[in-house]
Structure 1
Amino acid sequence: MLNNIGLVIRQLDLQPYERVALAMHSFTDKRHAASDDEIWLVQHPQVFTNGQAGNNAPALQTSSIPMIKTDRGGKLTFHGPGQQIIYILLDLRRRRLGVRDLVTLLESMIIATLANFSISAHARANAPGVYVGADKICSIGLRIYKGCSLHGLALNVAMDLSPFLLISPCGYAGLRMTQVKDLSPGTGIDDVIPVLLAKCRQQLETTASEIQDWDPLQYGV
């Protein structure tokens, strides 16, 4: 158990992608060896984000949804209200976690969460994320900086999935996206969050404070 490592959980609610990205980088730049790890829960207004390995999709030229280039791993994906994003801000050296270890941990956390809603999900060896059958329900994209993780995962819960049809999600042509509410009718974000946090604490083997508010001024944004 890593009970000496604090874990602060912050609820950001609905926030613009760029504002949160700037705050996340500010937090990581300023953290030190004794800094608590943090988990940020957030939803974003509709936005496409393109990772370091991503290419533009021609269909986006006619879309009113903005596209933002990011420094996370992975390719092009979509975010919108009803998708629960978790930014994972961990000191990986302190936890003795490699990148593959972290990806596996996050996949296991999502699979265990979905099982709570009677959804049978799985990971794939060469395609990070979580799948239900052939469909993808959770995307993972990370960056490691100064031995710490940034970005995280996006779980489709109860959102408008149609913008995914404009792209090849995560670079896979024809990949279909699914979500919790279509597999467990009546389930929403408020149902998923407590289960997700319980599985997160379990996987990280750490103590955690209660959910705290997020003040963007704390990060200079």
Structure 2
Amino acid sequence: MSLHKNRCLLYNQVVMPYSDALIWQRTLLEERIKNPSLEDVLILLEHPPVYTLGQGGKSEFLKFDQTNSMYEVHRVERGGEVTYHCPGQLVGYPILNLQRYRKDLHWYLRQLEEVLIRTLKIYGLQGERNPGFTGVWLEGCKVAAIGIKVSRWITMHGFALNVCPDMSGFERIVPCGIADKPVGSLTQWIPDISLLEVRSGVAKCFAEVFDVELVIQTPVD
């Protein structure tokens, strides 16, 4: 018998196009709005290069013409400004029914930060919160961005942790709308860090912070 209060289905995907992951998340969300007893889900994956803007995100934070662009850009229903995803960045999408945890969005954001801070601690790195901003910072560099959407207390979207990505994509935006603070990746501190290893660390810390039993699922095609 599990000692944890809830089970959470874990999907460890490889690289998945952003639009496919978005459809998947929306489907999982709608299913759980219709049937709140369905189990929670955590998706861990990477995306091909893509820019995303939050619902109220300002186009001025893109340093290129969105109407005539070679770059894939999506405006989506999460909070927050513009961010960049690419291989080497670990993206996590928790689809959680917060009625099982706490119906408090600030609490939920702090819990996501805590998952990433604990993950960094595995490597002897001191992740920090920055008052007034959402995300996780390491020696003044933002290494993880967080943006969520919640409907009927069920979450979608989530977090992005820069493990070993090509950081040049961030030069074409003002990341998260913050012009005066640099973004960083874990390779700056641990050059040979493995994304596969970080995946398992994030999953372990997620299970601890949310007190769930992770149940590994077969990746979807």
- Residue type at the aligned position of 2:44: L
Take 1:121 and 1:96, find their aligned partners in 2: how far apart are those partners? Answer: 24
Structure 1 match to 2:146 = 140
* 2:55 alignment counterpart: 52
- Encode CA deviations 1:105-132: one digit per residue, 9 max, x unaligned: 1111111111111211101221000001
Identify the residue that residue 28 of structure 2 maps to in structure 1: 27
Displacement of 1:10 after TM fit? 0.4
**C-alpha separation in 1, matches of 2:22 and 2:114:** 25
Structure 1 residues 63 and 198, CA gap change in structure 2 (3 angstroms): same
* CA distance in structure 2 between the aligned counterparts of 1:103 and 1:122, rounded to whole angstroms: 14
Q: Secondary structure at the match of 1:53?
A: coil
CA distance in 2, matches of 1:2, 1:147: 24
CA distance in 2 between counterparts of 1:215 and 1:148 reads 21
Q: How does 1:18-97 map to 2 (within 5 A)?
A: 18-31=19-32, 32-56=35-59, 57-61=61-65, 64-97=70-103
SS in 1 for 2:38: coil
The aligned length equals 215
* Conservation of the 8 A alpha-carbon contact between 1:53 and 1:74: yes
Q: Secondary structure at 1:213's aligned position in 2?
A: coil
Distance 1:6 1:121 in 2: 27
In structure 1, list runs of 5 or more residues that go unmatched. 217-221
Backbone CA RMSD of aligned residues: 1.6
Unaligned runs of at least 5 residues, structure 2: none
SS of the residue corresponding to residue 63 of structure 2 reads helix
TM-score under structure 2 length normalisation:
0.92
Post-superposition Cα deviations, 1:13-55, rounded to whole Å, max 9, x if no partner, equal: 1111011101101111012222110000111000000001211
Report sequence identity in percent. 26
Which region of structure 1 is more displaced relative to structure 2, 4-13 or 44-53?
4-13
Match of 1:126 in 2: 132
